[in-house]
Amino acid sequence: MRFSFAIFVGLFWASAAFAEGWTVTDLGSVDERPECMRLAEATIEAYRAAYGGDGFTGRSEWTIGGYDLREEVVDALIICPIEAGLVAPFLIVYNSDSDNEARDTVADRLAEIWDQQVAGGPATTTPVGNK
């Protein structure tokens, strides 16, 4: 796990030089990785249902990526690493343009949807466009 996380951090910092902006959000903790992955996928799906986005969802053993959440310039990654026996999910939202406010809005919406999923209810969002 440490090796994989070290690679991620290295790639993160290497690509950050080219990035316009990043937002990182701690999503709390979850008991098991399968539950984290289920919540992550449901969060991305609920976001797309409410706000659109023609991109795709990528999956690995411990990450869910929502690509092209706002046109082709905002992507999100929910990561489900295991720390001290619990899954400690966090959200990274990246934008490649200069619209940092839009990136923060996407991050806030995803975090809100995540919280609704964790609470056991359906995501209730009020679409305000695809920005």
For residue 89, being part of any structural domain is answered with yes
- Residue 67 sits in a domain of what CATH number? 3.30.310.80
Contacts of 103 (CB under 8 A, 6+ apart): 21, 23, 74, 93, 94, 95
pLDDT of residue 1: 44
Would you say residue 101 has pLDDT above 70? yes
**pLDDT digit string (tens) for 14-50?**
444 344 799 999 999 999 999 999 999 999 999 999 9
Contacts of 116 (CB under 8 A, 6+ apart): 46, 122, 123, 124
Where do we find the tokens 């619990």? Answer: 86
Q: Which domain holds residue 79?
A: 21-118
For residue 8, being part of any structural domain is answered with no
For residue 100, being part of any structural domain is answered with yes
The total number of structural domains that make up the chain: 1
Query: How high does pLDDT run on average in the chain?
Result: 83
pLDDT of residue 124: 57
**pLDDT digit string (tens) for 46-64?**
999 999 878 899 999 999 9
For residue 131, being part of any structural domain is answered with no
